[in-house]
Each structure stands twice: as structure tokens, then as C-alpha cells.
């Protein structure tokens, strides 16, 4: 959102600096003999304006680094989370863009009972299905990229092989299951500035309005963990 001019620091710096200069010119016209002190005052005003713009640019660069840090922090926390869930979660193809949107994906083994074998999901022969879709790493978290501020969870029929009620009627139930998962996320993270909607077999989490801080990058991982737990519970 664009600032109102009375809240714009650059506007007031230029405005007040201009008034100061005009006042000095008025004094110079009325008392030309005082030009040395007036020249010094001109220089002081100029230095103050220059210092403001240098500080303003430094602050903008720090904000940019903070936003970029959100991307890095999320990826770092995601790797830690995947390692903690390595018997269930397969990240071996996370760097491979998939689908028309060329998004990255994290997979989950479908037969969750295979977790008891304590075999890494990326090396086991167990059937896997897409669990989480992520934007390209260089787009993640950037507001100008709509897809860059969304993550998507996906349910798969294979996840419900041991739940005959769902497995045998998956096509008719998948929208309802996705909707219930989305509502659960809304309730759990009601105070977190994200929007959650369901679409067919997907749960879409939009974090475009979320402040891009390190803490919120970790909180977004909490969303991933919560959805994973729900998947295990209903399967």
C-alpha cells in the first residue's frame, strides 16, 4: 500500500529542507554581509538531507535481506523437518520441477505402516505419492509472484489403502476430506495470517499477507507438520 504523503519521510525531508533553504535565501537578500554563516547553514542542510537518504537506502536493503532470509529460513527448517520424518517423507525429487506449473514436490510413502521398518523413505521400495507442492526456490516468499506465496498439500488414494471406507469410495470423498483438512488448519492457525482453501484433492495455503520473518518461516513449518499429522490420523 502506498504511503500518504504526510507519512512519507522523504517528502518531509525534502519539504523541510526546501523551507530551510528559502529562509536562508531570504536572510541573504536582506543581509548580504552575513553570507559566510548562511553558506555554512546551507551546507548543514545539505549534509542532513544526504545523511537521511543514505540511511533510508541502507534500511531498505536490510528489509530486502530480511525478506530473502524468510526464503532461506523456510528451506532450512523444511530440511530439518524432512530429516525428522525421513521414514515417511521423501525429498529426493524436491529439486525436480513437476507439472505444468513446474513446482517442486515432497512425497510421502502411501503405506504408512512401512514406517515401522525404519527405512529412509527416499530409498525404500514403498509406493509414494505427492504430499506437498512448493514454489520454485527462487520465487518462494516473494509477493510479486502469486504462486511464490502458496504451498499446496495433496491427498492420494494410495494413502487410504488400510481405510477401506475411504479407499473404496475415494473419488466421491476426496473433496470432503480436503475441505475438512482445510477447516482444521484454519481453526488451528486462526491467529496466523494465512488463508486456507480446498480444491478437489488439494489444500492450498496462501501466505502472501504473512510478514516475512524468521519466526513466521518456522511457523509455516508447523503448518506442514500439522497437516502431516492429520494425514496419518485419517489414513
Taking only the tens place, the pLDDT of each residue in 83-97 is 999 999 998 877 777
pTM passes above 0.95: no
Taking only the tens place, the pLDDT of each residue in 21-61 is 666 576 656 666 555 665 556 556 666 666 666 665 665 55
Confidence class of residue 7 from pLDDT cuts 50, 70 and 90?
Answer: very low
At residue 14, does pLDDT exceed 70?
no
- CA pair distance 89, 107, nearest whole angstrom: 6
Taking only the tens place, the pLDDT of each residue in 144-190 is 445 578 899 999 998 888 888 999 999 999 999 999 999 999 999 99
Domain boundaries, the chain: 5-64, 69-234
What's residue 44's pLDDT? 64
Beta bridge partners of 150: 206
Strand duo 128-134 + 89-90: pairing: unpaired
Q: What are phi and psi of 111, to 5 degrees?
A: -90, 95
What's residue 142's pLDDT? 47
At residue 1, does pLDDT exceed 60?
no
Confidence class of residue 141 from pLDDT cuts 50, 70 and 90?
Answer: very low
Amino acid at each position: 500500500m502506498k504511503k500518504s504523503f504526510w507519512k512519507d519521510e522523504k517528502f518531509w525531508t525534502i519539504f523541510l529542507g526546501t523551507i530551510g533553504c528559502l529562509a536562508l535565501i531570504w536572510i541573504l537578500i536582506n543581509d548580504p554581509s552575513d553570507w559566510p554563516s548562511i553558506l555554512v547553514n546551507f551546507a548543514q542542510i545539505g549534509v542532513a538531507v544526504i545523511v537521511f537518504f543514505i540511511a533510508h537506502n541502507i534500511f531498505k536493503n536490510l528489509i530486502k535481506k530480511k525478506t530473502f532470509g524468510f526464503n532461506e529460513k523456510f528451506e532450512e527448517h523444511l530440511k530439518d523437518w524432512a530429516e525428522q520424518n525421513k521414514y515417511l517423507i521423501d525429498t529426493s525429487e524436491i529439486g525436480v520441477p513437476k507439472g505444468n506449473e513446474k513446482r517442486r514436490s515432497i512425497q510421502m510413502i502411501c503405506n504408512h505402516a512401512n514406517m515401522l521398518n525404519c527405512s529412509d523413505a527416499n530409498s525404500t521400495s514403498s509406493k509414494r505419492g505427492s504430499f506437498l507442492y512448493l514454489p520454485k526456490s527462487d520465487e518462494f516468499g516473494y509477493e510479486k509472484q502469486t504462486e511464490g506465496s502458496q504451498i499446496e498439500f495433496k491427498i492420494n488414494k494410495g494413502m487410504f489403502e488400510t481405510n477401506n471406507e475411504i479407499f473404496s469410495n475415494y473419488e466421491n470423498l476426496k473433496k470432503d476430506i480436503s475441505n475438512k483438512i482445510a477447516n482444521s488448519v484454519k481453526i488451528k492457525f486462526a491467529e496466523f495470517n494465512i488463508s486456507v482453501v480446498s480444491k478437489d484433492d488439494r489444500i492450498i495455503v496462501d501466505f502472501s499477507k504473512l510478514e516475512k520473518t524468521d519466526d513466521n518461516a518456522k511457523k509455516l513449518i508447523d503448518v506442514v507438520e500439522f497437516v502431516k499429522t492429520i494425514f496419518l490420523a485419517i489414513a
